[in-house]
Amino acid sequence: MMKKTNTKKNNNRRIKSVMMTIVVLLAVQPLSAESWKKLKDDRLHDPEAPALEVLQEPTEALSVLPPGGSAGNKVDWAKALRDDYIQPRAQIDKDAKLEQLDTNILFKETGDQPYVLFPHKTHTEWLECSNCHEKIFKTKAGETPVTMLGILSGEYCGVCHGAVAFPLTDCIRCHSVPIDQAGKFQ
C-alpha cells in the first residue's frame, strides 16, 4: 500500500522549501549585478585566447576603487585619483607640461534643465589643454555650439563622456546647478 504523501503538512513543508529556495536564489542575485564581466564572458575577448591566463580580471582591479554608480566602469575615477587609490603617472617625458587650471565654466543654454558646471580642475588632473582646445572646444567662452544632440553623437563632451569617462546615463552629474543657484558660480 502506498504511503500517503499528499497530506496538508507535507504540502506546507514543500511550499516552504520552494519559497526558501526562491528567497535564497534572489538574495544571491544582487552580488552578481555589482561585479564586472569576466574576460572570457565579455563577448570581446576570445575565450580560447592564451592571454586570458595572464590578463588581470576587471573585478580584481575595479572592485577596490571607489564605486561610481552602476554605469560605465562603475568606478568614481576622479575620487580614485583625488583620494590616492590610484597614482597614475602624469608624464613619461620629463619635460612634458603639467598644467592644472582651477576655473569653472557654467553652461546656461540647457533648456529647462539645471545648468551644467564644467570643472577645469578635475579635467586638467587627467588631460592636457590641447586635448580639448581648440579642436573640440574653443577657448573663448560662448564660441562652441555645444548641444545635447552633439554630445550624444560623440561630439564635445561626448568625445570622452560615453566612451571612456562616465557615460551620459545620469543627467544630474553634469546638470548639477539649479537655475536659481547660478549666482554662486558666476
Partner 1 sequence: MKKQYFFSACMLTLMVMGAPADLFAEYGDVVLNKRAEQEGVRPVIFSHWFHRIRFRCKVCHSELGFEMRAGANQVTMDGITEGKFCGACHNGQIAWSTENCDLCHSGRPGIKSGIYGGHQTMGPGRW
Contact residues for partner 1, defined by CB under 8 A: 11, 14, 17-18, 21-22, 25-26, 28-29, 32-33, 36-37, 42-47, 49-52, 54-56, 58, 61-62, 70-75, 77, 86, 88-93, 96, 125-128, 130-131, 152-154, 158-160, 162-164, 167-169
- Which C-beta is closer to partner 1: that of 1 or that of 92? 92
Taking the complex as a whole, how short is the minimal distance between the CB of residue 118 and partner 1, in angstroms? 16
Residue closer to partner 1, measured from CB, 81 or 182: 81
Output 75 or 177, the one with its CB closest to partner 1.
75
Nearer to partner 1, 9 or 184 (CB): 9
Beta bridge partners of 161: 165
Q: How far is the CB of 9 from partner 1 (least distance, A)?
A: 13
Q: In whole angstroms, how close is the CB of 133 to partner 1 at the nearest point? A: 12
Which residue in 97, 101, 185, 108 sits closest to 146, CA to CA?
A: 108
Residue found under cell 583620494: 83
For residue 81, give every residue at least 6 positions away whose Cβ sits within 8 Å of its Cβ, in sequence order, or none: 88, 125, 126
User: Of the two residues 22 and 141, which places its CB atom closer to partner 1 in the complex?
Assistant: 22
Nearest approach, Cβ of residue 115 and partner 1 (Å): 22
Longest dimension (CA), the chain: 93
Backbone angles phi, psi at 151, to 5 degrees: -60, -45
- 77 — phi, psi (to 5°)? -65, -40
Cell numbers for 130: 590641447
CA distance 129 to 139: 10
CA distances from 186 to 103, 115, 117, 177, 182 (A): 11, 12, 10, 11, 7
CB of 108 to partner 1, least distance (A): 25
Distance of closest approach, residue 183 Cβ to partner 1, in angstroms: 33
Closer of 115 and 162 to partner 1 (Cβ): 162
Nearest to 174 by CA among 164, 163, 186, 161: 161
